[in-house]
Structure 1
Amino acid sequence: MAKALEALGRSDGLSGLGGFDEFCEGALAEHGCASVSVAVVDDERTVLARAYGLADVAEGRAATPGTVYGLASATKPFTALAVCLAADAGLLDLDAPLPGRHRFGAPTARQLARHRGGFPAYYDFRYADAADAGRPVDVARYAEQVRAPGGAFEYSNLGYRELGLLLERVTGRPPAAYLRERIAEPLGLDSFSLGPVSTGAGPVAARYTADGRAYPVCRSSHPTAGEGWATATDLARFARHGAGLLAPGTAAARHDALPIPGRLGYGLGLVVQRTADGEVMASHGGGMGGVAAMLIDLPGRGLSAAVLANSTNKAARDAVVGRLAAALAPGFDTAAHLAPVQEPARPFALAPGRWAGAVDTAEGGVLLRLVVRADGRVEVGLADRPALTVPAVASADWDVRLTAPLQLPTADARRNSPALGLELRAEEGRLTGRAIAFKDGDRSGLLGPYLVHDCTLRPV
């Protein structure tokens, strides 16, 4: 710890970083990000607290260390810690199957916290000033397992939604209240809150698209997966001191991480790296419309850090995280922590041929046609629309992966999910997998829902 603190500089937290102010300001300018806030804490004090740029461009309001930012998926460590607290209190068993109907078997809280509950990727967003603000996507149409729990890792907001529902059931309290009473108040995190708008102490940073347009208030059906708010200092304090609220065995279990695709593991709400000498380095990122967040915990060094930005574009956040991590812990695998789930493409090898089938939606089956060409490209036809030819790849899990500018003709997809993604596996003479309605970024409009549907095709 002493070396890391020396690298930062004990007087103001910056002298050892050599031009850190200029670096952060340059990152904002280079990547078109309005502001970034940075904090480092040790076991006793705040080592560094700095903010750069504008928290609100229209008002000309500067970001400060007291500015509150959205956390997006950096909320998940709070939810996982709350579940662990409930387990320590005897309110739930981390390894007991959840009650209720489950398509492929009941997951446990531990499996859900590790993203191994069998649920797919998913998110839905609706905005306060949108025409359909009062008509949210019905999450029940998508909150179905796609595999048995305990198997493959799949990062899933739906799993953390299930954890939020479990918390409310066993505590009798809304998750927002439970997280504040059991985590924020004991740790003195005055800025922390959970919900579509910040209710904690401090001015709030406006959120911006990648090209600088302001986001309105955003709501989702999975608040315990991504609706947290905090200052960078409070996020770093949480990362450093949250484990102290738990029984020792439960605290250690947070770092009991199973491997995920890539170089790291995922524990109970934490991405975990173990160095060659056994040192634990943990993190969790977050990104959504107008939010780019990262927390880092270095328990062996007694240090934690947080970087928060108010842009969908994560590039400024990534640059600052890399600069900071190089000073705090040269062994920190920055590239892996910033993109922990990596599924490299492999050559597309599906034989030329024609396939037809349907996308299974809540409104009925939607005709899907594929023509695999000899050049490795694929013609995709959806419903009665003309086919488009697009490139395709494969991966360890999928024999076909592609995206096309085709919109599923469902009410949910028409809200704000104009693109189609396909992930298909060749097995038993069929192509099976998923069709995904989504929106690729927010350089036009705002970020839309990510909606996964079952899909089966047969040769024709």
Structure 2
Amino acid sequence: MTYTTRREFLSALALASIPSILPASTQGRNRAGYSAPRLDKRDFGPVRERILKEIAAGSATGAAVAVVHKGRIIWEEGFGWANREAAVKATSRTPFNLASLTKPFTTTMLMALVAEGKLSLDDPANKYLAKSKIIGTNGNADVATVRQLGAHVSGLPKMFAMYDRNEANLALSSEALLAEYGSLAYPPGSCYEYSNIGFAALSAIASNLTGVEIGPLITQRVLTPLGLDDSFFDTDVTRLSTGAARYDSSGNPIPYYTTATPASGELYASAHDLARFAMFNMNNRDRARILDDRWMEELHKPVFVGPSGVATTFGWFTQHLKSGEQVLFKGGGQPGVATALRMVPAEDLACLVLTNRSDGDELCQSICNEILSSYLPEWRQPEDNSGPSPSPFVITPELSGHWQGTLTNDGMQMQVRLHIESSDSATLQLGQKPAEKIIEMHLEGIGFTGTSTGVIESPDVIRTGAKTLNLKLIPHEGKLVGRILATDSKTVTLPYVLGLKRASA
């Protein structure tokens, strides 16, 4: 048979791969014995058809799905390509990069150290940071706790940076990264900001306590005890060839890269292993190998509750359905990756989707929503965000006027002037350069956000050319404190912290 186009080939592949709906064990029996004859007769056929059509249409490359119910994996399956160029199909045992779904594995490893008495989650993080400590630029750094680092409320800002094979020398150790970017943007506990730097600090703490690097440590303390044999940290280069390749939103392969904060996003895991990790989090099976119920409760306990009711825990997000049942969830996204895991512990129910495309988030969310709604009619899609929703900017006395201060991080200091004139007019001036207009202004709770342009004169900005500037500032003790993120919107988000005082015009 011949195919005249790539689309015809993919369509034929999709149709040829549709078997009857059989138990998960037909695709490869679970070595740990969790797969079993299908007791749940729910029909996942429509979901399978939807995924296969997406792959045939070229709007998805590879995906893997698993559903857990009542202590069993009742469905696990892979679709499309793990590596299209090498003609390797995705299966339920294919390790996919998890991106930020790595974070719960990191916090589980930290909780194991807590259970051993090596640290306390409510101690100051700086107590366990040896060479580089968190710096109190906009708050008392010694107030920031280990628990707050894992719950995104320590006051550390956002960050993302990636390095290809030729840039490996640019990647810093966790301690060195903290020396460059470990400054508080906000007072600890004052507001939510998703922070990969916080997980770099957790990585440094764990390594300081054990003398072991983050990848081997997660393997020793979580993956091996739970028998998650498909999973590995990407520092294990011997196994990278077994993992799913990453593709952009057009289906083009993305060259291999690592990130600035490995503990926040560099674990690979199969759908099968992630389903078993979900079971570990929902019931007692295998818990004794790592954590008893007391420590699992600490892991899942809300730390910061946002205005929508979504709360952060030590590594997870959580909210409640209308019935009052708790939902634990986490997702991940970065170039070539979109992942989602949703759990309802009271129902012993979980759904997860792994994809290897930059634009896979909608597929992940819709599949989880369709499956979980079939069990729970009240199911609503959760949002991985504990911050306030943006609203149109309306100027307030706390924000209006002229402000000035210093921008720091990455070994530089730069003078900044901010002028918020009205609800539709504001400017940002860096150093002696002309002031630039701030657009897309919003309120997030009491905070001011907006977007501008300019060049921050730091080594990393000059190297990456990140010229889009995203501001987030909150009033605090008569000042405005927060950060500016320099970003190119694709591969880098670099944080620079600032505190501004009122100034004359």
Aligned in 2, Cα 1:205/1:327: closer, same or farther, shift over 3 Å? same
Aligned in 2, Cα 1:301/1:62: closer, same or farther, shift over 3 Å? same
Task: Determine the structure 1 residue equivalent to 2:492.
Answer: 448
Q: Please give the per-residue CA displacement for 1:120-143, whole angstroms capped at 9, x wherever unaligned.
A: 2222221214xx442236522111
- Selected match of 1:320 from 351, 355, 367: 367
Task: Determine the structure 1 residue equivalent to 2:442.
Answer: 394
Aligned in 2, Cα 1:342/1:32: closer, same or farther, shift over 3 Å? farther
Task: Determine the structure 2 residue equivalent to 1:127.
Answer: 164
Aligned in 2, Cα 1:321/1:430: closer, same or farther, shift over 3 Å? same
Aligned in 2, Cα 1:30/1:459: closer, same or farther, shift over 3 Å? farther
Q: Please give the per-residue CA displacement for 1:362-404, whole angstroms capped at 9, x wherever unaligned.
A: 4543344545455703344444555443424232445532113
For residues 386 and 10 of structure 1, the distance between their equivalents in structure 2, rounded to whole angstroms, comes to 69
Partner SS for 1:124: strand
Q: Which moved more, 1:187-196 or 1:142-151?
A: 142-151
- Selected match of 2:231 from 182, 187, 192: 192
Alpha-carbon offset, residue 309 of structure 1? 0.9
Task: Determine the structure 2 residue equivalent to 1:263.
Answer: 309
The equivalences for 1:360-371 within 5 A come to: 360-371=408-419
Does the Cα contact within 8 Å between 1:197 and 1:217 map onto a contact in 2? no
Aligned in 2, Cα 1:29/1:107: closer, same or farther, shift over 3 Å? farther
For residues 402 and 145 of structure 2, the distance between their equivalents in structure 1, rounded to whole angstroms, comes to 41
For residues 199 and 478 of structure 2, the distance between their equivalents in structure 1, rounded to whole angstroms, comes to 35
Partner SS for 1:295: strand
Partner SS for 2:98: strand
For residues 434 and 59 of structure 1, the distance between their equivalents in structure 2, rounded to whole angstroms, comes to 43
Aligned in 2, Cα 1:27/1:262: closer, same or farther, shift over 3 Å? farther
Aligned in 2, Cα 1:10/1:398: closer, same or farther, shift over 3 Å? farther
Task: Determine the structure 2 residue equivalent to 1:413.
Answer: 461
TM-score relative to the length of structure 2 = 0.78
Alpha-carbon offset, residue 285 of structure 1? 0.8
Q: Please give the per-residue CA displacement for 1:11-30, whole angstroms capped at 9, x wherever unaligned.
A: 49785235111212344567
Residue 500 of structure 2 aligns to which amino acid in structure 1?
Answer: T
1:229 aligns with 2:268: yes
For residues 282 and 66 of structure 1, the distance between their equivalents in structure 2, rounded to whole angstroms, comes to 23
Alpha-carbon offset, residue 343 of structure 1? 2.7
- Selected match of 1:348 from 394, 418, 426: 394
- Selected match of 2:68 from 18, 30, 41: 41
Aligned in 2, Cα 1:86/1:429: closer, same or farther, shift over 3 Å? closer
The equivalences for 1:86-101 within 5 A come to: 86-98=113-125, 99=127, 100=129, 101=133
Does the Cα contact within 8 Å between 1:55 and 1:204 map onto a contact in 2? yes
For residues 440 and 192 of structure 2, the distance between their equivalents in structure 1, rounded to whole angstroms, comes to 23
The equivalences for 1:242-391 within 5 A come to: 242=281, 244=287, 245-258=290-303, 259-313=305-359, 314-334=361-381, 336-339=382-385, 341-349=387-395, 357-372=405-420, 376-383=424-431, 385-391=433-439
Alpha-carbon offset, residue 361 of structure 1? 4.3
Does the Cα contact within 8 Å between 1:439 and 1:450 map onto a contact in 2? no
1:84 aligns with 2:111: yes
For residues 447 and 114 of structure 2, the distance between their equivalents in structure 1, rounded to whole angstroms, comes to 41
Task: Determine the structure 1 residue equivalent to 2:46.
Answer: 19
Structure 2 gap ranges (5+): 1-22, 24-35
Residue 156 of structure 1 aligns to which amino acid in structure 2?
Answer: S
Does the Cα contact within 8 Å between 2:154 and 2:188 map onto a contact in 1? yes
Does the Cα contact within 8 Å between 1:282 and 1:296 map onto a contact in 2? yes
Task: Determine the structure 2 residue equivalent to 1:176.
Answer: 215
For residues 184 and 217 of structure 1, the distance between their equivalents in structure 2, rounded to whole angstroms, comes to 23
Alpha-carbon offset, residue 282 of structure 1? 0.6
Residue 164 of structure 2 aligns to which amino acid in structure 1?
Answer: Y
Alpha-carbon offset, residue 189 of structure 1? 0.7
Does the Cα contact within 8 Å between 1:350 and 1:399 map onto a contact in 2? no
Task: Determine the structure 2 residue equivalent to 1:444.
Answer: none
Task: Determine the structure 2 residue equivalent to 1:159.
Answer: 198
Does the Cα contact within 8 Å between 2:98 and 2:265 map onto a contact in 1? yes
Alpha-carbon offset, residue 266 of structure 1? 1.3
Does the Cα contact within 8 Å between 2:192 and 2:387 map onto a contact in 1? no
For residues 57 and 246 of structure 1, the distance between their equivalents in structure 2, rounded to whole angstroms, comes to 39
Aligned in 2, Cα 1:109/1:391: closer, same or farther, shift over 3 Å? closer
Partner SS for 2:224: helix
